[in-house]
Amino acid sequence: MSKQINVALIGNPNTGKTSVFNQLTGLNQKVGNYPGITVEKKEGICKLPRGVKAHILDLPGTYSLNTTSLDESVAVELLLNKNDKDHPDVAIVVSDVENLKRNLLLFTQIKDLKIPTILVINMADRMDRKGITIDIDLLEQKLNSKIALVSTRKETGIDRLKELIADYKNLKKTQNVDISVIAPDYFEQLKEAFPKEDIYKLWLVITQDVNFMPLKKTLFKDTSSFSTKSKSELKRLQQKETILRYQFINGILKETYKVDVNAAKGFRATLDKVLTHKVFGYAIFFLILLMIFQAIYGWSEYPMDMIDGFFASATEWVKNTLPPGVFTNLIAEGILAGIGGIVIFIPQIAFLFLFIALLEETGYMSRVVFLMDRIMRPFGLSGKSVVPLISGTACAIPAVMATRTIENWKERLITILVTPFTTCSARLPVYLIIIALVIPEGSFLGLSFKALTLMLLYLMGFGAAILSAMILNKILQIKSRSFFVVEMPNYKLPLVKNVAYTVLEKTKSFVFGAGKIILAISIVLWFLGSNGFSYEFKNAETIVAQRIEEKGYSANSEVYFENQLEEQENTLTNEEEALQQQELQERALSQEIASYKLEHSYMGYMGKAIEPIVRPLGYDWKIGIAVLTSFAAREVFVGTLATIYSVGNDEEETIKNRMEAEVDPKTKKPIFNLASGISLLLFYAFAMQCMSTLAVVKRETNSWKWPTGQLVFMSLFAYIVALIAYQILK
């Protein structure tokens, strides 16, 4: 069996590192977190020549080993710690052909750690257009390293890179820069104190405290000499080191890297003027969002109908095929109903991630971040707060983690507290099904009312985040000031493979992450809805039959009869019509019994207990149960209703149809009407409703005070807004 080697893939943001990772690993990749910390860890397997396998670890984007964030600290610690199971046998530094000078700073630092290092110069297909020529042989000689000139777009250079990885033992480990010249006496003292240790590794361990956080100094036995200089002195030495490295890089590039200025095009500058314009920039972004939401509804309609029909048919097949009993009911009414309630939204969620991936791949998302910085500053947020707020449209959890790039604690705290207002993809299933039920058909300026409603909900969430930030800014009285810096990557056509991997990975993560919770809750809800202790539950058949005989069918059954009679053809004979009426009555009786048992089950009593709280918002006890269980995860709302409405239901019917047919027994009006629907939409737009986000906020703030306050404020605010909306609209 051949040995598996560890490969660290590292580089500045926007150098195409993800594209190189995708080319090397294909679908053999997975995403998780580093042990004990909430930083994303992406790894995969690559098959190399001569039967060698490489474990590729895609490290977080890093500008240099002088860390300024937790992400960068993770990368540095892995490179320093030889005892780590993922410590690389070889490091691949990915650079961008247009920004080679800046990228080589990181390369020289890693090379000086004496790790076998390969330089990848990516986006080689842009060289002719930008008038760039590189003497690769001379550059290899000057850097004492091997270079792979790669174009992930044209899929060239990857085979060469694989050969270099497989032959990593022959790579030179010589250093590029002798940093001891910046302070000879100081480094001489370090050598005397630690004669067996590498001087540059020592230097990195010492200086990490200055920038962000302490590394594991247990890497070295004696740390008594680590505090011989003040933080300001160490900072000045780091600046000298950076200048020294750039002098080395400039000297090399002067001989090996040429740019014909006349060949370069000014397209980027022209486009930037339009897309970041103080008027047109916002208008274009608004139009792009409108088109995205219109597409989410239009394109996903057919696959959603297919999935909905499939689960309805699967439920019916299970009931008709398997022997009657508890196990069959569990599968049909618990598992299939709950999972079906979330799987149906895969097309829309996939389309959302598709558009986000396209915006990131083209380089437009960085322009959006820059553009939105102008809005952020007057409200006391750091420009860097835009990144968590934008990424919160996917999920609040990684968005809260992304606040670690904000150096100022109070600004970071405000961002953490307001980020959950941003509409995440978990809210999408709730929005979509409620909008489909209560928002009428029609369009305005070619855009459907439903797409406009969805767009408005996103804007309201963002507006609530900004307003809350302004209030918190005044309460916490932030006086410190920070500066916002964002890199504007070059515009480029998105790589189909990158977009496909992103959509697949994000959708899979969403579905499986939510699926585990939904499956567990669906089984619990099925049990609570299928069992009871009361006299009414145990004698439901007799009580319902007697009630029908005395008072007739309930409002729900009457609506059901009307809908079925409307669908009947006038050509039916009297005998056929009588048979159909009998069949309808049998089905209605079955539904009446199931509904009565559900109302008097364990879950029914729980729902009735909380109904006085949710009734002013226009919700019945069933919706109350769904709201309560969705605290585990917002998307559980739909799965819960799917489980509740399917418990004891023998008819092949979709969740949307069941919700549409649900009638208030007192008013005989649909439960899901415009007033209650808008109330629900507003409640979920502003409510916390996410246990996982609370846990992450606690972890990031290291206190229960902030997440508790966050939960109470957002829940009360959501309740009051939903209450006002329902009382006005009803």
Give the bridge partners for 57, in sequence order. 8, 43
Q: Do both 51 and 102 map to the same domain?
A: yes
Alpha-carbon dihedral sign for residues 176, 181, 187, 192: positive
Question: Which of 65-69, 125-129, 348-352 has the largest mean confidence?
Answer: 125-129
Check which CATH number belongs to the domain holding 226 and give it. 3.40.50.300
- The reply to whether 72 falls in a domain is yes
Among 476, 493, 524, identify where a domain stops. 476
Does residue 457 register a pLDDT over 50? yes
Nearest-angstrom CA–CA distance, 698 and 711: 11
Choose the weakest-confidence range: 310-319, 368-377, 579-588. 579-588
Residue 668 falls inside a structural domain? yes
The beta strands (E) that lie in 673-722 are given as none
Q: Please choose, from the candidates 365, 319, 445, 435, the residue with its C-alpha nearest in 3D space to the C-alpha of residue 684.
A: 435
User: Do 218 and 307 share a domain, yes or no?
Assistant: no
Query: Domain span at residue 428?
Result: 301-476
For 666-700, b/e burial (b = at least 16 CB within 10 A) is eeeebbbbbbbbbbbbbbbbbbbbbeebbebbbeb
Nearest to 8 by CA among 87, 65, 111, 119: 87
3-class secondary-structure state, position 42 = strand
Query: Which tokens go with 663?
Result: 């009638």
Residue at a domain's end among 476, 504, 529? 476
Q: In whole angstroms, what is the distance from residue 549 CA to residue 541 CA? A: 12
Same domain, 256 and 314: no
Same domain, yes or no: 366 and 219: no
pLDDT at 650: 44
153 with 179: CB under 8 angstroms?
no
Distance (Å, whole) CA 581 – CA 587:
10
Q: What residues have CB less than 8 Å from 477, skipping those under 6 apart?
A: none
3-state helix, strand, coil in the chain (%, to 5): 65, 10, 25
- Of 410, 473, 485, the closest CA to residue 68 belongs to 485
Residues 540 and 464 in one domain: no
| Of 284-293, 433-442, 711-720, highest mean pLDDT | 711-720
Taking only the tens place, the pLDDT of each residue in 311-345 is 878 888 888 888 888 788 788 777 787 677 667 76
Measured CA to CA, the distance from residue 152 to residue 385 in angstroms comes to 32
Provide mean pLDDT across the span 671-696: 85
Within this chain, do residues 561 and 621 fall inside the same structural domain, yes or no?
yes
Q: Which amino acid is at 352?
A: L
Phi then psi for residue 4, to 5 deg, are -95, 125
Question: Which of 36-40, 423-427, 547-551 is least confident?
Answer: 36-40
- Does 498 map to a domain? no
Name every residue whose Cβ is closer than 8 Å to that of residue 559 and which is 6 or more positions away in sequence. Answer: 661, 663, 668
Other Cβ atoms less than 10 A from the Cβ of 601: the count is 24
Three-state DSSP at 77 gives helix
267 falls within a domain: no
Write the DSSP symbol of residue 151.
B
Q: Look at residue 281 and tell me if it is in a domain.
A: no
Can you state the angle between helices 199-211 and 184-193, rounded to 10 degrees? 110
Yes or no: say if 460 and 405 are a contact pair by the CB < 8 Å rule: no
Whether 28 and 77 have beta carbons less than 8 Å apart is answered as no
User: DSSP assignment, residue 229?
Assistant: S
Most confident of 133-137, 189-193, 361-365, 582-586: 133-137
Kindly state whether residues 149 and 35 are assigned to the same domain. Answer: yes
Q: Indicate whether 291 belongs to any domain.
A: no
Full-prediction pTM beyond 0.75? no
**Could you tell me if 468 and 520 lie in one domain?**
no
Give the total number of structural domains in the chain. Answer: 3
Helices assigned H by DSSP within 257-363: 267-275, 280-321, 326-329, 336-343, 346-362
Question: Which H or E element spans position 111?
Answer: helix 100-111
* pLDDT exceeds 60 at position 387: yes
**How far is 446 from 233, CA to CA, in rounded Å?**
63
- Tokens 């459907």 found at: 448
User: Residue 532 and residue 603: Cα distance in Å, rounded?
Assistant: 8
Query: Has residue 177 got a pLDDT over 70?
Result: yes
Other CB atoms within a 10 A radius of the CB of residue 256 amount to 19
Report if residue 686 sits inside a domain.
yes
Domain boundary among 458, 476, 494: 476
Residue where the block lists tokens 């004891």: 648
Give me 606's structure tokens: 């729980």
Q: Are residues 333 and 232 in the same domain?
A: no
Nearest alpha carbon to residue 21 among 33, 35, 7: 7
For residues 516 and 649, membership in a common domain is answered with: yes
Residue 32 has pLDDT above 60, yes or no: no
Is there a contact between 197 and 80 (Cβ–Cβ < 8 Å)?
no
| pLDDT recorded at residue 213 | 38
Stronger pLDDT, 485 or 276, i.e. the higher one:
276
For residue 276, tell me if it sits in a domain. Answer: no
Judge whether residue 545 has pLDDT over 90: no
Do residues 395 and 306 share a domain? yes
Residues 252 and 305 in one domain: no
